[in-house]
Structure 1
């Protein structure tokens, strides 16, 4: 990582930001360390004007086996080995070990663009009244389906420009340390339960900002990954409302499984709005829009399996998520 000239922070200065690097998906690229190499390369190239620390949080077994030449790609990288093989537990453990005033979350399969880290720092400086900042996550967008799924899977919290948002990304975001300590990610509830954290922060008066210049390019593993994502999203749609009846539309759970068609319709309507609002910012071409609208019906249909499991008080067993 390169630091811009600044008034003598010194190599031992307390970090302003602690970037937590965590893997949430056991893909082939992850097994081969390809995603980790790409992520560390991109972080090493970031230019910032404040001290930053980087923490790679992994299981104890995997932490011991990581090659030194890979870890050396990001000078000063600290490796934290934890007994948990679950994403939110690892992020919470990393936050406890972090020293920075800002806790940044970055998944290993995300490549931050140039200026990502400085945008995070600058945004918090400019907006001291916000407790968390979320960035934009995109797929590379080489194909029509990849561009469409990019906006359908990643654009829901995006207002289209810098501005307030209701949710915080759990793969590309920053939190004020003291707020994260009080409201950590919910453990034991799967990889898409972060709305529980956001809701608790909002009830406490916390406000969230969306910052599009904090962009990361998320690895895209195709339809296998998308099916996995959608099953978990469907499960979380029901499960988080079982836990927190104060969430929007929780009253629908009184209908039991009969509420699933209503959740499906609501999700489709929301995604159509997302496509029309920010589709062009996720690379959608004019000819892509009919495909995106058609895929909206399909991807939310895939969520129904997860919803049924949640109503049965069962979990998603076949998954590559941690």
Structure 2
């Protein structure tokens, strides 16, 4: 494919996290079609000084977006992107060498999908005994294939589309700090057509190894749900659903390799999975009583 691919704009929102961003950039620069890609990083108000990375990676296009939220940052990247294909990932992600090459392939056909979602592989800390939080995240963190085929969106940790589709569907909803990828994907599916899952377009993502890291994501999910459906009836219906045991998470945890998760560890992870549901209820109700959704 090198020599025949169109220009691809890779859009990466960044909020602090300089060390992992540097690793992500190294892997993007090592793509099999790196000579046909531009990398755009949008600093979303980091308190960390990213100036050393600007100097280390002068080939990257560095932008700034003051409005909090990764979707606002991605939209800023879209406005300056020169590529006919847009590829989205995050600063903590680890793209495989063939990510772009495999990801853009369906978009170059005669009947391209509205978007491509690639595989997201969970990368553990490598600890001898994984925590309950990490086992929970390992089992159920990023079911991208199910999201694309059943829920009709791709997580923006690994999503590609054409600039033409983006122009037709419109940008991400900046009012949402979580769940904007689902909202956009559903719009694209309805307006342009189905998306497509590509297992060969792989990206690694570190597991969240502590309860605090998982609960940070839970807060974002609760905020995204409130932004998407702000009414009291929707709030109460959402909370009622969370009170039932998380059957899918239990099954995913039970399916983990016993060498990674022995029975006692699986039981702890299942208990933690249910605790995350209760936390979702608590955060969602807090927002309904006047809280504000956030990115952390």
Q: Work out whether the TM-score is over 0.5.
A: yes
Q: Is the 8 A contact 1:164 1:210 kept in 2?
A: no
| CA RMSD across the alignment | 3.3
**Does residue 271 of the first structure (1) align with residue 285 of the second (2)?**
no
Q: Is the 8 A contact 2:28 2:34 kept in 1?
A: no
What is the aligned residue count? 286
> Secondary structure, in 3 states, of the residue corresponding to 1:154?
coil
User: How much does 1:315 deviate?
Assistant: 1.1
Give the match for residue 228 of structure 2.
240
Q: Is the 8 A contact 1:159 1:210 kept in 2?
A: no
Provide Cα deviations, 1:265-320, integer angstroms capped at 9, x if missing partner.
468244346557xx669x97575654543332122222122211332242146x6x
> Secondary structure, in 3 states, of the residue corresponding to 2:121?
strand
Q: Is the 8 A contact 2:14 2:44 kept in 1?
A: no
Give the match for residue 25 of structure 2.
40
Provide Cα deviations, 1:27-81, integer angstroms capped at 9, x if missing partner.
xxx1xx2111110111122112872111111258878834444315xxx322123
User: How much does 1:103 deviate?
Assistant: 0.9
Q: Is the 8 A contact 1:238 1:310 kept in 2?
A: yes
CA distance in 2, matches of 1:86, 1:218: 20
**Does residue 210 of the first structure (1) align with residue 197 of the second (2)?**
yes
> Secondary structure, in 3 states, of the residue corresponding to 2:39?
strand
Question: Aligned in 2, Cα 1:67/1:297: closer, same or farther, shift over 3 Å?
Answer: closer
What TM-score does the superposition give when structure 1 sets the normalisation length?
0.75
CA distance in 2, matches of 1:267, 1:315: 27
- Map of 1:222-301 to 2, 5 A cutoff? 222-242=210-230, 254=233, 256-257=235-236, 259-265=237-243, 268-272=246-250, 287=263, 289-301=266-278
> Secondary structure, in 3 states, of the residue corresponding to 1:129?
coil
Q: Is the 8 A contact 1:111 1:217 kept in 2?
A: yes
User: How much does 1:90 deviate?
Assistant: 1.0
User: How much does 1:199 deviate?
Assistant: 2.4
Structure 2: where are the runs of 5+ without partners? Answer: none
- Runs ≥4 residues deviating over 6 A: 60-64
Give the match for residue 65 of structure 2.
82
Question: Aligned in 2, Cα 1:316/1:165: closer, same or farther, shift over 3 Å?
Answer: closer
- Map of 1:9-158 to 2, 5 A cutoff? 15-24=6-15, 26=16, 30=17, 33-48=18-33, 51-59=36-44, 65-72=51-58, 76-126=59-109, 128-141=111-124, 142=126, 143=130, 145=132, 146-155=134-143, 157-158=144-145
CA distance in 2, matches of 1:228, 1:109: 15
> Secondary structure, in 3 states, of the residue corresponding to 1:194?
helix
Give the match for residue 167 of structure 1.
153
User: How much does 1:217 deviate?
Assistant: 1.9
Give the match for residue 304 of structure 1.
281
**Which residue of 196, 210, 216 corresponds with 2:183?**
196
Question: Aligned in 2, Cα 1:179/1:272: closer, same or farther, shift over 3 Å?
Answer: farther
User: How much does 1:122 deviate?
Assistant: 1.9
Structure 1: where are the runs of 5+ without partners? Answer: 10-14, 244-252
CA distance in 1, matches of 2:216, 2:34: 39
Give the match for residue 12 of structure 1.
none
Question: Aligned in 2, Cα 1:280/1:220: closer, same or farther, shift over 3 Å?
Answer: closer
Q: Is the 8 A contact 1:165 1:208 kept in 2?
A: no
> Secondary structure, in 3 states, of the residue corresponding to 1:53?
strand
